[in-house]
Structure 1
Amino acid sequence: MSTDTGPAVQELLPTQAWGLLESNPNAVLIDVRTKAEWSFVGKPDLSTLNRSVLEIEWSRYPDMSVNPRFVEEMIEAFEDSTPTQVLFICRSGARSMSAARAVQESLAGEMHRFDLFNVAEGFEGDLDSKKHRGGLNGWKAHGLPWRQS
Structure 2
Amino acid sequence: MPGLPEISPAETWEALRADPDAVLVDVRTDAEWNFVGLPDLSDLGKQPLLIPWQVYPSMQVNGAFAEHLRRAGLTAAHRLYFLCRSGVRSLSAGMAAQADGFPQAFNVTDGFEGPVDAEGHRGKVAGWKADGLPWRQR
TM-score bracket, normalised by the shorter chain, equals over 0.9
8 Å CA contact retained: 1:8, 1:116: no
Structure 1 residue 84 displacement after superposition: 2.8
- Residue-by-residue CA offset, 1:19-64 (whole Å, 9 max, x unaligned): 1111111100000000000000001011111111100000011111
Match of 1:103 in 2: 97
Residue ranges of structure 1 left out of the alignment (5+ in a row)? 108-112
8 Å CA contact retained: 1:43, 1:147: yes
Matched, 1:45 2:49: no
8 Å CA contact retained: 1:59, 1:67: yes
TM-score with structure 2 setting the length: 0.94
| Distance in 2 (alpha carbons) for counterparts of 1:74 and 1:37 | 20
Match of 2:108 in 1: 119
| Distance in 1 (alpha carbons) for counterparts of 2:78 and 2:28 | 22
Residue ranges of structure 2 left out of the alignment (5+ in a row)? none
**Closer, same or farther: CA 41–31 of 1 in aligned 2, 3 Å:** same
Structure 1 residue 106 displacement after superposition: 1.8
| Distance in 1 (alpha carbons) for counterparts of 2:133 and 2:96 | 27
Match of 2:50 in 1: 55
Structure 1 residue 114 displacement after superposition: 4.7
TM-score with structure 1 setting the length: 0.87
Select 1:139's aligned residue among 124, 128, 131.
128
Count matched residues: 138
- Residue-by-residue CA offset, 1:43-91 (whole Å, 9 max, x unaligned): 1011111111100000011111100000100111126x76531100000
Aligned residue for 1:9, secondary structure, equals coil
Match of 2:60 in 1: 65
| Distance in 2 (alpha carbons) for counterparts of 1:47 and 1:117 | 21
Root-mean-square deviation over aligned CA pairs: 1.6
8 Å CA contact retained: 1:128, 1:136: yes
